[in-house]
């Protein structure tokens, strides 16, 4: 019988945790073809989250918890959960019931019967999120798609059920600065999308503010794109063209008027020309840096989905 591991990052979720557990337990228990386990990751909560987890785990032998020594962030919590999960299928869920447990049965069907490696929830609508946050989030995803050429769309979050092959591929990505949405896209695999309406969290508050969202967005771009390192190159070429135009126009002007070009234009041309050279040198350094940066991440060079190698004689 297959086993589903439900991974739940929790940070100060005392208000919603019990309700989450009850509703999700009901939903997963209704999948008769699979057993399940819950892995709660207490990400250094300062409220009674850990006490509630202890109570849940005391009563339900299918529950385990891991409590971090401090708040390491949701990315670290998801990684820890995936690392300790031993199910054939792993699903990541938020503890605030914003990921509807009723989708679990359809997700399981997609990954166990329909041949998909992953079935991911895609949130439609943004009720409950502020207008500014919605706008910034949409803008961010359109920028990151263009910079990385990877499929990271607004609404496609961490709520997804994956088979063991995909889970292991994600665990092969050992990078410290984890941006899981990018990692899902990087490892590939066949994904089915299930749309669900956005709902407000069951209780408590979001852990994100504008500052942390900006930092997260910046992290995402830096983790999966070296495009910003190309900016000095673009600027260098532009400055070079400006210097050429200035130089040519002042030369032409002095030929027509039979007078030497004025000193200010000459100085400006030389300064802009030298700046363009500097920018191009910075660009070359950036190119070396980006190669080294990607080497350091030690990402897998390829990921095999399935293979046939014949029988040994």
In the complex, which residues of this chain contact Mg ion (CB under 5 A)? Answer: 94, 96, 98, 201
Query: Closest Cα to residue 117, out of 169, 168, 163, 160?
Result: 163
Task: Tell which one of 62, 198, 206, 254 touches ligand UDP (CB under 6 A).
Answer: 206
- Give 194 or 251: the residue with its C-beta nearer to ligand UDP: 194
Tokens, residue 156: 């496609």
What is the closest distance, in whole angstroms, from the C-beta atom of residue 42 to ligand UDP in the complex? 8
Q: Which two tokens stand for residue 20?
A: 């989450």
Order across the sheet with 118-124: list the strands. Answer: 63-67, 34-42, 2-10, 89-92, 156-163, 118-124, 191-197
Member of 14, 15, 43, 154 binding ligand UDP (CB under 6 A): 43
CB of 53 to Mg ion, least distance (A): 18
Choose from ligand UDP, Mg ion, none: what does 77 bind? Cβ within 5-8 Å by kind: ligand UDP
- Residues 240, 81: Cα–Cα separation, whole Å: 52
Question: What's the 3-state SS for 264-289?
Answer: HHHHHHHHHHHHHHHHHHHHHHHHHH
* Residue 95 found at the interface with ligand UDP (CB under 6 A): yes
Long-range Cβ pairs for the range 215-218 (8 Å, 24+): 217/136, 217/140, 217/144
The Cα 294–Cα 298 span in angstroms is 7
Work out whether the CA dihedral 79, 81, 82, 84 comes out positive or negative.
positive
- Number of residues located near ligand UDP, criterion CB under 6 A: 17
Q: Is 73 in the site for ligand UDP (CB under 6 A)?
A: yes
One of 64, 207, 230, 299 touching ligand UDP (CB under 6 A): 207
> Residue 33 or residue 195: which is nearer to Mg ion going by CB?
195
Q: Which is nearer to Mg ion, 94 or 117 (CB)?
A: 94
Q: Which is nearer to ligand UDP, 60 or 200 (CB)?
A: 200
Q: How far is the CB of 208 from Mg ion (least distance, A)?
A: 8
Cβ neighbors of 20 (< 8 A, separation 6 or more) are: 8, 13, 93, 95, 96, 97, 202
Residues with Cβ within 8 Å of 172's Cβ and at least 6 positions away in sequence, in order, are 300, 303
Task: Confirm or reject binding of residue 182 to ligand UDP (CB under 6 A).
Answer: no
The nearer residue to Mg ion, 99 or 111, going by C-beta atoms, is: 99
- Is there binding between residue 10 and ligand UDP (CB under 6 A)? yes
- Note whether 208 binds ligand UDP by CB under 6 A: yes
Q: Which stretch binds ligand UDP (CB under 6 A): 72-80, 109-117, 239-247, 248-256?
A: 72-80
Interface with ligand UDP (CB under 6 A), residue from 4, 5, 7, 13:
13
Would strands 34-42 and 63-67 be described as parallel, antiparallel, or unpaired? parallel
- Which of residues 95 and 183 has its CB atom nearest to ligand UDP in the complex? 95
CB 116 within 8 A of CB 190: yes
Residues of this chain that bind ligand UDP (CB under 6 A): 9-11, 13, 43, 71, 73-74, 77, 94-96, 98, 201, 206-208
């Amino acid at each position: 019988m297959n086993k589903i591991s439900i991974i739940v990052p929790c940070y100060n979720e005392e208000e919603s945790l019990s309700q989450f557990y009850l509703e999700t337990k009901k939903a997963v228990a209704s999948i008769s073809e699979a057993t399940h386990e819950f892995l709660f990751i207490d990400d250094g909560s300062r409220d009674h989250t850990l006490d509630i987890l202890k109570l849940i785990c005391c009563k339900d032998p299918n529950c385990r918890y891991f409590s971090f020594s401090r708040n390491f962030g949701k990315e670290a919590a998801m990684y820890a959960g995936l690392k300790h999960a031993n199910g054939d299928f792993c699903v990541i869920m938020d503890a605030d019931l914003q990921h509807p447990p009723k989708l679990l049965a359809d997700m399981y069907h997609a990954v166990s019967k329909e041949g998909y490696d992953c079935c991911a929830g895609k949130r439609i609508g943004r009720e409950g999120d502020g207008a500014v946050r919605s706008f910034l989030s949409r803008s961010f995803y359109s920028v990151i798609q263009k910079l990385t050429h990877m499929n990271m769309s607004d609404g496609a979050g961490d709520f997804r059920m994956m088979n063991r092959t995909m889970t292991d591929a994600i665990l092969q990505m050992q990078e410290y600065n984890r941006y899981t949405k990018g990692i899902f896209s990087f490892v590939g695999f066949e994904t089915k999308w299930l749309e669900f309406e956005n709902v407000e969290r069951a209780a408590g508050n979001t852990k994100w503010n504008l500052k942390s969202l900006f930092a997260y967005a910046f992290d995402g771009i830096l983790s999966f794109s070296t495009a910003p390192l190309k900016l000095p190159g673009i600027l260098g070429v532009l400055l070079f063209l400006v210097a050429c135009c200035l130089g040519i126009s002042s030369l032409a002007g002095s030929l027509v008027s039979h007078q030497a070009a004025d000193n200010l234009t000459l100085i400006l041309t030389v300064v802009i020309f030298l700046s363009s050279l500097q920018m191009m040198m910075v660009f070359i350094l950036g190119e070396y840096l980006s190669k080294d940066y990607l080497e350091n991440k030690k990402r897998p060079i390829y990921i095999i989905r399935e293979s046939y190698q014949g029988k040994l004689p």
